[in-house]
Amino acid sequence: MKRLLIVWHSRTGAARAMAQAAARGAADEPDVEVRVLPADEAGPDDLLDADGYLFACPENLATMSGAMKEFFDRAYYPCLEQLNGRPYAALIAAGSDGTGAARQLARIAMGWRLKPIAEPLIVGTQAQTPEAILAEKVLSEEALARCTDLGAALAAGLAMGVF
């Protein structure tokens, strides 16, 4: 059985909802065990035990959230040269753009020599005022369906040995 690890961080619920939607899609694949962990609970052993990854986080100030970056900081060197070729995908919750966080995450994944299986899925919340930025987010069904589809595709590829 293959293992898919979904690591997420969220302050206002958007990235958490994206990770949960992806997990629902991946759970439909009977030959893949799906494990979902908050970034502050995930570590090197979790990465080493998985065959593929889905990382979900918000973009904060044009980069990934600090808690997600801290996860990568803790896990980077203990996993270096041990994850080569494993597949991954990224989910980014962004107030407007999202490309800064996606680019930062891709550079870390490149250092681990992970294989991207899709372009980063960026969901814009259009939150531009302090009140909107700090408010709990509710994503559209269309956005969540895209996350579900990405989780299902990653799990199916793992199960079939495509990745």
User: How far apart are alpha carbons 133 and 120 in whole angstroms?
Assistant: 21
Give pTM, 2 decimals.
0.96
The residues near 153 (Cβ < 8 Å, ≥ 6 apart) are 25, 117, 118
Supply the pLDDT for residue 127: 87
Q: Is beta strand 2-8 parallel, antiparallel or unpaired with respect to 52-60?
A: parallel
Spell out the domain ranges in the chain.
2-160
CATH number of the domain located at residue range(s) 2-160 in this protein: 3.40.50.360
pLDDT in the model for residue 134: 87
**Parts of the chain with a pLDDT under 50:** none
Nearest Cα neighbor of 19 from 49, 41, 45, 48 is 41
Measured between alpha carbons, how far is 16 from 24 in angstroms, rounded to an integer? 12
